[in-house]
Chain A
């Protein structure tokens, strides 16, 4: 489908996307040389948000499902990390490695329940399940310390300086994004997109739609837990507000800002929303209203997000510059959205 690159593009070494990714990585690698500790924490927040939102994109962008339990899976990942430290005395790194599996398991069980329903009722069922998990964590004081949260988790000495922690989380981010990109380029990713476009037809082909949707839900939940563990390492703690239902709205907004129909969308959105929110909260007393207005304007004026807007722009520029060249080149130039649109027209 749209995200499968044409062979011509695969052969070219310097595609705009590759140049963009490389530049971004370079900036991220060099950032600690230039910025102070506060900005480093901001960048770590952005990276965590990027992994969180990309994991949500597997569910929303690729499979076309709206879930409100994602914040809960995120919180379960964070608590997996802090709880094994608090009660078992394990290294948080071990908890970090464990987190995606715990969250994945919770997501799988939640999914078994939630996939009894479809569309809107599915979304509302995930809202109930997520809220149930939140209440359990909130009320189970003896284990989770309730609304006080868990603070001051010991990290290995190597990770205590902010710069080291930054590089560790950068490595974790790259690993997560690469793993998610690979799985979304695999036949699994293609099947999920087909389910998003037309679940009935995919079902007629003999594909078990529910099983694949559940796989996407589990995979997304696992990486949400991974992002939650990143949060726990960054802040050396966890608290129940992490898994409140409003947290689940965050990746939706990130995807909206960046664009739902691409792998890079949530990453771009996380960078924009992360920096924007930091700026607004520091400069406006009434930041929640300002942020709300900004989001509302984006919804009303730019519903395709930044990536789509830039793709449309670059596709348009390239079509212009190649002018009367043969049609096939300009067709692949407008890859993402144009290709997508054509396939939809065919149906």
Chain B
């Protein structure tokens, strides 16, 4: 029972990591607190429902996995170009408010396109059902989720540590002005980072859908938890995001067993406690 709940917690952590990693990446490189990040999560889930529904079967799910990040990434790139690019160099508050306005716009775009009815996304055959291990039955999909998050985490790490794009992103985190001076097209880099972050959120929305319903309002729900994760871990730190996601996911799943009503409150209590101890989060850089 406890073991099963731990697994549930870990798979919850996997979902949270995907969403929060994008949020943290965008903040780290662009210094934008992107409230519309939850919208990309929601849009990703809804597009996945449509694609999987149209094609059907396991093939539909696989097609969604490939297409959703690309579509949402493209939408995000356009959004960034239109709504955020004119605000670089202005007050952070304006950027934050702009993403808030974007959240209301995306909310209605989804309401217009998919309606207010809840939708379902079915996991493919191979990933559903339980797995037996020494007398215990574990949901196969949870194990898939954890695996997928670990793979993506390593992919992200490799992208940041080993590629030219990753080098530029890391430079943007620490020295944005210098980066411009050495001839990197910073605005274009920001568009790429923003699209990448949104694609991660959309991926998170897709993979978490089979475990629940795809519903209008899931954007506001997830963004607040994703914030808790990146705040605990430290804004802009990939390692911190992973630790934060594990902490939030597991604590949430465990407290559901003992104090179901206070589970969500526990998450925010941890967040406040961590910030009191280390105001910049576990792995964050202190505010300059």
Q: Measuring CB to CB, which residues of chain A are less than 8 angstroms from any residue of chain B?
A: 66, 113, 116-121, 124-125, 127-129, 131-132, 135-136, 139, 245-246, 249, 252-253, 256, 286-289, 291-293, 295-296, 299-300, 303
| Residue-wise interface mask of B (248-277) relative to A, using a CB-CB cutoff of 8 A (1 in contact, 0 not) | 000000000000011011001101100110
Given the known inter-chain contacts A125-B272, A135-B265, please indicate yes or no for A117 contacting B105, CB distance below 8 A.
Answer: no
8 closest cross-chain pairs (CB), A and B: A289-B108, A292-B104, A292-B105, A117-B279, A295-B101, A296-B101, A286-B108, A132-B268
Interface assignment of B21: CB less than 8 Å from any CB of chain A: no
Docked-complex contact B108 and A292, CB < 8 angstroms = yes
Supposing A286-B111, A286-B112, A303-B94 touch, asked if A132 and B265 sit within 8 A by C-beta, the answer is yes
Question: Which residues does chain A contribute within 8 Å of B100, judged by CB atoms?
Answer: 249, 253, 295
Q: Does the CB pair A292–B33 fall under 8 Å?
A: no
Q: Is the CB of A139 within 8 A of B265?
A: yes
B107 touches A139 (CB 8 A): no
Query: For B96, what are the chain A residues with a Cβ–Cβ distance below 8 Å?
Result: 66
Within 8 Å by CB of B224, from A121, A125, A245, A292, lies A245
B238 at the interface (CB under 8 A from A): no
A–B Cβ pairs within 8 angstroms, 11 of them: A120-B33, A120-B287, A125-B231, A127-B224, A128-B271, A128-B275, A135-B262, A245-B224, A286-B111, A303-B90, A303-B94
Give CA–CA (A136, B272) in the complex, Å. 15
CB <8 Å contact, B94 and A246: no
Contact B108 A116 (CB under 8 A): no
Interface-central residue, B104, B112, B269, by most chain A CB under 10 Å: B104
Interchain CB contact under 8 A, A300 and B83: yes
Known: A246-B220, A299-B97. 5 other contacts (CB 8 A): A117-B287, A120-B92, A128-B268, A289-B105, A292-B105
CB of A292 within 8 A of CB of B272, answer no
Q: Contacts of A246 on B, CB cut-off 8 Å? A: 220
What distance in Å separates the Cβ of B173 from its nearest Cβ neighbour in chain A? Answer: 14
- B228's partner among A118, A128, A293 (CB-CB below 8 A) is A128
Closest to A290 in B: B108
CA distance A116 to B231 in the complex (A): 15
How many chain B residues sit at the interface, stated as a range, is 35 or more
Contact pick for A296, options B83, B112, B220, B268, CB 8 Å: B83
A residues less than 8 Å from B111 (CB atoms): 286, 288
Q: Is the CB of A288 within 8 A of B107?
A: yes
Cβ-defined contact, B101 with A116, below 8 A? no
**What per-residue 1/0 map shows which CB atoms of B93-119 lie under 8 Å from chain A?**
110111011111101110110000000
Most buried by B among A117, A121, A139, A303: A121
CB distance from A78 to the nearest CB of B (A): 20
Q: Number of contacts between A and B (CB, 8 Å)?
A: 112
Using CB atoms, name the residue of chain A closest to B107.
A288
Q: B residues within 8 A CB of A303?
A: 90-91, 94
Provide the bound-state CA to CA distance between A292 and B99, in Å.
Answer: 10
The docked-state distance in angstroms from the alpha carbon of A241 to that of B89 is 34
Contacts of A113 in B (CB 8 A): 272, 276
Residue ID in chain B nearest A287 by CB atoms: B108
Q: B13 within 8 Å of A by Cβ?
A: no
Residues of A within 8 A of B224 (CB): 127, 131, 245
Query: B105 to A116, Cβ gap below 8 A?
Result: no
Asked whether A253 lies within 8 Å of B97 as measured between CB atoms, the reply is yes
Q: Which residue of B lies closest to A131 (CB)?
A: B268
Interface assignment of B16: CB less than 8 Å from any CB of chain A: no
Query: Smallest CB–CB gap between A138 and chain B, Å?
Result: 9
Complex Cα distance, B109 from A124, in Å, reads: 28
Inter-chain CA distance A116–B279, complex, in Å, is 7
Closest to B274 in A: A128
With the chains together, A286 CA to B103 CA distance in Å? 13
Q: Tell me whether B164 is interfacial, beta carbon within 8 Å.
A: no
A121 touches B268 (CB 8 A): no
Q: Is the CB of A292 within 8 A of B86?
A: no
CB-CB under 8 A from A118, the residues of chain B are 279, 287
Provide the bound-state CA to CA distance between A113 and B275, in Å: 9
Q: In the complex, what residues of B have CB within 8 A of residue A256's CB?
A: 94, 97
Cβ of A124 and Cβ of B227 under 8 Å apart? Answer: yes
Measured between alpha carbons, how far is A135 from B255 in the docked complex, in Å? Answer: 15
